[in-house]
């Protein structure tokens, strides 16, 4: 067996294993044969360990063989020759994707073990692990993606599972509202992503990353685009990344994601999902180099988000919210680093930050315990005035900063008012017109739904 075959086998394994897990858990749920907690955990840990070992093996093999860029093709699924379009499934193992996929397996695996205890006897245990498998598959596909279509596929899996996990406690109102809001922000980011793909296709005639990175292993590739095209495509991708990584102006969704069970908040929003935007920017880094304006935009957005996160985080009074904004600060810095042309530093930063934040979020319910220990050690109540804002600044400025933090920059309200409201108004207008027209045609109230009361009748067992 030569190297290529081994690579193919191992690489196929890395991708197939999460797919297998999803298939097993999904089919079990579909056939109403819910697996026991033990069985679910056995499947989960076996698959994660297999995936992790395969990816480590690939890393070792890459180091030994000196090959820095291995790709795995699953052929063209759709080919439209006259449009030069082909939908290709292609995966790449290189210096960016292998560390990222290993990080995914380690963190997701740890969370699997954690959640097995944490969700013990919970009625949604199976549902959690099903979404968990979907998330894992999404993360692996997105990290290893070699074409923009493949990346989009993984990206969607991650988005779907994230939103559903936020809405995990669907018997309460707030998780559903927040889950839906996150889903909506993700749609905006997806729309930007798709537009970028179309624009790219328009410019190069192929959706392959090669169009973006040119040839050559990451991070040395060169893109075959003009500076103008790069700016256009790059800005769209920046919007996509901002939505996914909760950069300004989409930052409002990050604390809302803390509705789910602690482990999912920890790994998905504290650690992995939130870095996916930065990962996308790393992936397409060659086009950042083509346009100084694009790089500047990335740096500016990253720094603005980081500063924003630092200010808002200091005002938060709840454990998980504070950690969410602390994550945002770091993601902002990482984005800025990418914009500055660094490649390996952001990667190390992502890995370190993800691990640290996961640990912190998992320990969030211990906060009181930890504070008590710290108080005893320090010998008094904890006073931790951070340097910001400095004492010499005028009080009005300090209050202004506090207000900015407290109201979270009113970003959510601004999105609602300037982005959502116009949409809703337009569609309501359409609705009114339609109603008027149908009422005219039927000569009476044409909407059956108007007569349905907003609440369903409750039978005897009333509260």
Partner 1 sequence: MNRSIAAEADIPEDRTGLEAVDQLEHCIEHATHRLPAQGPITVFVHHNTLHSLEDLPFDDAVKQGARIYGCHPYLPEDFYRGEAARGRIASKDLSAVLIDDLGEDADWLLGFMGTRYHLRFAMLEHPLRPGTDAELRWLIAETDALHRFRDEASRDVRQRMIEPTRQWILRDYLDGQARAPARGADGIAALIAQFGASTMERWTDRTWESFTLHVLWRVCHNGVHGIPPFAEGAPLPRRHRDLLLRATGQDADLLVHGVLIRFCAAFLDQGFAAWPLPDREAGFFRSFAALYRDERRVAAWLRDLPTELGRLERSAASPLESIDESLRLLGVADAERGEYLSETLLALRGWAGMIWQMESNAEWAVRPAPAGTLQEYLAVRLILERLALRHVARDALLGTVELRDFRTVLRHRIPQPPRVGVEQRAYLVFQLAQVRGWSPTDLHRLPKAGWSRLVEEIESFDSLERRRIYHHAYERGYRNQTLDALLIHARRLGPVDGSVIPSSANGQQGRVTFQVVCCLDEREESFRRHLEEVDPTCETFGVAGFFGVAMYYRGVTEAHFRPLCPISIKPRHYVQEESIHSFADASRFQAEARRRLGRFSLRVHMGTRTFVGGLLTGMLGSLATIPLLMRVLLPRRTAQIRRLFGRMVTPPVTQLHLVRTGPEPGPRDDQLGYSRAEMAGVVGGLLRSMGLPEQFAPLVILTGHGSSSLNNPQEAAHDCGACGGARGGPNARAFAQMANDPRVRRILAEDGLMIPDHVFFIGAYHNTCDDGLTYYDLDRMPATHREAFQRATTALEEARQRNAHERCRRFESAGLTITPEEALRHVEGRAEDLSQTRPEYGHASNAVCFIGRRSRTRGLFLDRRTFLTSYDASQDDPESSVLTGLLRAAIPVCAGINLEYYFSRVDPTGYGCGTKLPHNITSLLGVMDGAESDLRPGLPWQMVEIHEPMRILFVVETTPEAMLASIAGEKSIRHLVDNAWVQLATLDPETPTIHVFRDGGFKPYEPVADDLPTAPSSLAWYRGWRDHLGYASIVPVGPCPTLDGQGGHQ
Site for partner 1 in 2-21 (CB under 8 A): none
Question: DSSP label at 208?
Answer: B
378 binds partner 1 (CB under 8 A): yes
d(CA 44, CA 29) in angstroms, rounded, equals 15
258-317 binders of partner 1 (CB under 8 A)? 258-263, 306-307, 310, 313-317
Half-sphere exposure at residue 71, Cβ-oriented, CA atoms within 13 angstroms: 18
Supply 292's token pair. 């100084």
The phi, psi pair for 362, rounded to 5°, reads: -65, -30
379 binds partner 1 (CB under 8 A): yes
Q: How far is the CB of 445 from partner 1 (least distance, A)?
A: 15
Q: How far is the CB of 35 from partner 1 (least distance, A)?
A: 16
Q: How far is the CB of 315 from partner 1 (least distance, A)?
A: 6
Closest by alpha carbon to 305, among 241, 355, 387, 395?
A: 241
* Structural Rg of the chain based on CA atoms: 24
359 binds partner 1 (CB under 8 A): yes
Indicate the residue among 135 and 152 with the shorter CB distance to partner 1: 135
Closest by alpha carbon to 89, among 16, 2, 1?
A: 16
83-112 binders of partner 1 (CB under 8 A)? 106, 110
441 binds partner 1 (CB under 8 A): no
131 binds partner 1 (CB under 8 A): no
Size of the site for partner 1 (CB under 8 A): 107
Binder to partner 1 among 374, 419, 426, 433 (CB under 8 A)?
Answer: 374
256 binds partner 1 (CB under 8 A): yes
Binder to partner 1 among 403, 429, 430, 436 (CB under 8 A)?
Answer: 403
User: Which residues contact residue 183 at a Cβ distance below 8 angstroms, ignoring those fewer than 6 apart?
Assistant: 159, 163
434 binds partner 1 (CB under 8 A): no
Indicate the residue among 118 and 293 with the shorter CB distance to partner 1: 118
Measured between alpha carbons, how far is residue 180 from residues 184, 259, 382, 417 in Å?
6, 12, 38, 17
Q: How far is the CB of 363 from partner 1 (least distance, A)?
A: 6
Half-sphere exposure at residue 81, Cβ-oriented, CA atoms within 13 angstroms: 0
Indicate the residue among 79 and 388 with the shorter CB distance to partner 1: 388
d(CA 422, CA 418) in angstroms, rounded, equals 7
Question: DSSP label at 88?
Answer: E
Q: Which helix (H) or strand (E) holds 70?
A: strand 70-80
**Cβ 81 vs Cβ 21: under 8 Å:** no
136-165 binders of partner 1 (CB under 8 A)? none
338 binds partner 1 (CB under 8 A): no
Indicate the residue among 292 and 348 with the shorter CB distance to partner 1: 348
461 binds partner 1 (CB under 8 A): yes
> In this chain, which stretch among 146-154, 190-198, 399-407, 441-449 interacts with partner 1, using CB under 8 A?
399-407
Q: 3-class SS at 85?
A: strand
Q: How far is the CB of 58 from partner 1 (least distance, A)?
A: 20
419 binds partner 1 (CB under 8 A): no
Q: How far is the CB of 226 from partner 1 (least distance, A)?
A: 35
**CB contact burial 210-229 (16+ within 10 A = b; e otherwise):** bbbbeeeebbebebbbeeeb
Between β-strands 85-93 and 70-80, what pairing exists: parallel, antiparallel or unpaired? antiparallel
The DSSP-derived string for 181-200 is HHHHHHHHHHHHHHHHHHHH
358 binds partner 1 (CB under 8 A): yes
**Cβ 215 vs Cβ 71: under 8 Å:** no
Binder to partner 1 among 31, 120, 391, 448 (CB under 8 A)?
Answer: 120
d(CA 165, CA 167) in angstroms, rounded, equals 5
413 binds partner 1 (CB under 8 A): yes
Q: How far is the CB of 320 from partner 1 (least distance, A)?
A: 5
448 binds partner 1 (CB under 8 A): no
242 binds partner 1 (CB under 8 A): no
Q: Token match 């202004």: residue?
A: 400
178-197 binders of partner 1 (CB under 8 A)? 178
126 binds partner 1 (CB under 8 A): no
> In this chain, which stretch among 57-65, 135-143, 189-197, 256-264 interacts with partner 1, using CB under 8 A?
256-264
46-75 binders of partner 1 (CB under 8 A)? none
463 binds partner 1 (CB under 8 A): yes
Q: For residue 330, is the peptide bond before it cis, meaning its omega torsion is within 30 degrees of 0? A: no
Terminal-residue alpha carbon distance, the chain? 69
Sign of the dihedral defined by the CA atoms of residues 100, 102, 108, 110, in that order: negative
Q: How far is the CB of 84 from partner 1 (least distance, A)?
A: 42
> In this chain, which stretch among 73-81, 142-150, 217-225, 382-390 interacts with partner 1, using CB under 8 A?
382-390
């Amino acid at each position: 067996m030569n190297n290529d075959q081994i690579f193919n086998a191992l690489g196929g394994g890395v991708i197939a294993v999460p797919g297998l897990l999803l298939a097993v858990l999904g089919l079990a749920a579909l056939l109403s044969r819910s697996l026991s907690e033990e069985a679910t955990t056995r499947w989960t840990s076996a698959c994660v360990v297999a995936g992790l070992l395969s990816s480590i093996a690939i890393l070792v093999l890459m180091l030994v063989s000196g090959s820095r860029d291995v790709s795995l093709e699953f052929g063209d699924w759709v080919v439209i020759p006259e449009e030069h379009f082909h939908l290709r499934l292609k995966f790449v193992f290189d210096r960016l994707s292998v560390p990222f996929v290993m990080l995914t397996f380690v963190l997701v695996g740890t969370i699997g073990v954690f959640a097995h205890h944490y969700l013990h006897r919970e009625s949604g245990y199976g549902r959690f692990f099903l979404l968990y498998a979907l998330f894992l598959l999404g993360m692996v596909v997105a990290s290893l993606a070699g074409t923009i279509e493949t990346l989009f596929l993984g990206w969607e899996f991650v988005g779907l599972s994230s939103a559903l996990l936020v809405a995990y406690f669907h018997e309460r109102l707030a998780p559903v509202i927040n889950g839906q809001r996150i889903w909506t922000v993700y749609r905006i980011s997806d729309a930007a992503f798709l537009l970028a793909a179309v624009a790219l296709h328009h410019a190069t005639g192929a959706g392959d990353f090669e169009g973006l990175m040119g040839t050559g292993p990451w991070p040395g590739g060169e893109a075959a685009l003009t500076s103008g095209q790069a700016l256009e495509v790059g800005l769209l991708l920046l919007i996509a990344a901002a939505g996914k990584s909760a950069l300004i102006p989409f930052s409002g969704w990050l604390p809302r994601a803390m509705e789910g069970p602690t482990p999912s908040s920890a790994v998905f929003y504290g650690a992995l999902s939130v870095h996916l935007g930065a990962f996308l920017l790393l992936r397409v880094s060659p086009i950042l180099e083509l346009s100084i304006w694009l790089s500047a935009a990335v740096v500016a957005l990253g720094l603005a988000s980081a500063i924003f996160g630092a200010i808002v985080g200091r005002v938060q009074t709840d454990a998980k919210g504070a950690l969410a904004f602390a994550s945002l600060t770091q993601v902002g810095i990482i984005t800025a680093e990418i914009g500055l042309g660094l490649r390996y530093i952001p990667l190390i930063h992502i890995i370190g930050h993800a691990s640290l934040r996961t640990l912190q979020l998992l320990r969030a319910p211990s906060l009181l315990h930890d504070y008590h220990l710290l108080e005893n050690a320090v010998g008094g109540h904890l006073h931790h005035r951070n340097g910001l804002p400095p004492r010499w600044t005028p009080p009005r400025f300090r209050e202004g900063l506090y207000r900015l933090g407290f109201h979270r920059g009113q970003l959510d309200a601004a999105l609602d008012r300037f982005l959502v409201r116009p949409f809703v108004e337009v569609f309501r207008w359409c609705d009114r017109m339609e109603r008027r027209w149908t009422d005219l045609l039927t000569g009476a109230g044409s909407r059956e739904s108007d007569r349905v009361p907003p609440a369903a009748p409750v039978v005897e067992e009333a509260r």
